[in-house]
Amino acid sequence: MSEVTTIGLDIAKNVFHAHGADSTGRMVFSRKLSRGKLLNFFVSQPQCTVALEACGGAHHWARELQAMGHEVRLIPPAYVKPFVKRHKNDAVDAEAICEAAQRPTMRFVAVKTEEQQAAALVFRTRDLLVKQRTQLGNAIRGHLAEYGWVAPKGPSHLAMLADLLDDSDMSATLPEAARPMFAMMVDMLAELGKRVAALDKEIARRAREDEVARRLMTIPGIGPITATAIAAIAPPPETFAKGRDFAAWLGLVPKQASTGGKQKLGAISRMGERTLRRLLIIGSSAVVLQASRRGAPKGSWLDGMLARKPRMLVTVALANKTARIVWAVLTKQEDYRAPVAVAA
């Protein structure tokens, strides 16, 4: 039997499937495994390349397999799909993962440590609480509209609305059965606000203590949340050959539909890390808003863009530019130095 050099592993909660291939790509085995027997199976295998899809639980299994001496490669699921042959099942998926891992031009995802995943968890938790706060605020606003009370959008107006609900004149216009429900939602909203504020303080503390985060905060449009998120979530800068590759990983580059030598560019691809992309766009929108109100430095890139392009387009373009600056700052390990504006 040929020696196994690559194993494609299709992971799930309880049932796994391993597809082994030799150096020529010929199948050596295809085996179904239970969760309890997975690690024992790989202990008996010679040290080889093990490929998995970068999905839930993949980083945990990657760390376990690396501890056994195997070389682990995580592949984005979108890059595995073209190798799936006709019908989909665990065996076919494992074979497709094995085939994709053997391609010389395949791109892989860096395996994260437990500390990196723990550092990123604070942002996932904050995003969840902010979404719940927004959902609850919309629910309060929508239910009050049924009784003729309309409130503008925004957290500040919700705080005012909570004060009005305590007012006897407004409460008198609401049915008796609805008042305790509104009171419950208002209390939940206040509690969510406190938890988000506590997480903001924790993120700010981490930003002050982390050297990389402090360096990133020298870039305009990047504050404590974005800086610590980049430090925790983004892969090592040497993963990318240039800043544009990092911007493409974030999904901040245009889609291409080019053919026949004609270049056609569309909107940004949004095929990347959603959390960092959103934070960079939010930070860029703040920079563009201030430049629109107070004016950008004469002769600067931002000044020229605002003079001839719509503001939202400039915001996304600035987010792309900021992503490339982030890569340069991380690669050179230097603080950001603003370019000198040249007069036209």
Q: How far apart are CA 217 and CA 184, in angstroms?
A: 39
Give the model confidence (pLDDT) of 239-292 as tens digits: 899 999 999 999 999 888 888 888 888 888 888 889 999 999 999 999 999 999
Q: Are 8 and 95 in contact (CB under 8 A)?
A: yes
Helical spans, DSSP H, in 111-175: 114-145, 155-166, 168-172
Q: How far apart are CA 96 and CA 51, in angstroms?
A: 10
Mind listing the pLDDT tens digit for each residue in 22-56? 999 999 999 999 999 999 999 999 999 999 999 98
Percentage helix, strand, coil for the chain under 3-state DSSP, each rounded to 5: 55, 10, 30
The separation between CA 15 and the C-alpha centre of its own chain, rounded to angstroms, equals 28
pLDDT of residue 49: 96
Whether the pLDDT of residue 142 is over 60: the answer is yes
How are strands ordered across the β-sheet holding 6-10?
Answer: 27-34, 15-21, 6-10, 49-53, 71-75
pLDDT digits (tens, 9 = 90+) for 193-203: 999 999 999 99
Provide the token pair at 10: 């299709």
